[in-house]
A and B are shown apart, each in its own frame.
Chain A
Amino acid sequence: AQSVTQLDSHVSVSEGTPVLLRCNYSSSYSPSLFWYVQHPNKGLQLLLKYTSAATLVKGINGFEAEFKKSETSFHLTKPSAHMSDAAEYFCVVSYDNQGGKLIFGQGTELSVKP
């Protein structure tokens, strides 16, 4: 079955330090991969997406992610965390034969300490 695993339910970093949110997917098909961010009681905002072009994807707010097919991973990184980055992050996968359905990871809560 196709699935997405976010390896950490909660990540805590200090302001100004790097952020790493890990995501692995499982499928033999070529996926489209997304990272969405959700602030409390808000909808989801797209950070970035991978759709079989460049494997290193740059997104908004300084985030980027690298698609590694050999590792079936799509980890999200940011060189320097900001207090406003504190939120819930979802790794999401989609496939061409699924009619647009998204498969969500469990989510990672990012806390940023001053």
Chain B
Amino acid sequence: GAVVSQHPSRVICKSGTSVKIECRSLDFQATTMFWYRQFPKQSLMLMATSNEGSKATYEQGVEKDKFLINHASLTLSTLTVTSAHPEDSSFYICSAWKGSSGGAGETQYFGPGTRLLVL
């Protein structure tokens, strides 16, 4: 299967600082990347959809000015948590989707996740 990496895997930061998380598709070009957050013992919650070269589409309730997403190329998307606070502590997961060639059945490939802890 295709490989998606995330960096860093774990980050601890002070309240008020910004943190950037990278998501890379290593062996394929991803038309679309998705960003999720997951709280302990809960399911994944979609935050935003990121298409290469265009603005991200945010889900209802997700602050676009707080969670900045950039999809500069077909293999890289970044999520920046700006002015992080303790309540932003979570597990952030990205996924990469090749696009509509396979329709809805086209598999999304998930990164290993980034554990963010804001002190």
Contact = CB atoms under 8 A, between A and B. Distances in A.
Interface of A: 31-32, 34, 36, 41-46, 49-52, 90, 94-96, 98-102, 104-107
Interface stretch (B73-81, B82-90, B100-108): B100-108
B7 interface: no
Contacts of B21: none
A96 B99 CA distance: 11
Contacts of A107: 42-43
Contacts of A96: 103-104
Contacts of A50: 105
A26 B99 CA distance: 24
Interface of B: 1, 4, 6, 32, 34, 42-44, 46, 49, 91, 93, 95, 97, 99-100, 102-113, 115
Contacts of B113: 41-43
Given A31-B104, A52-B105, A100-B106, A44 B93 contact: yes
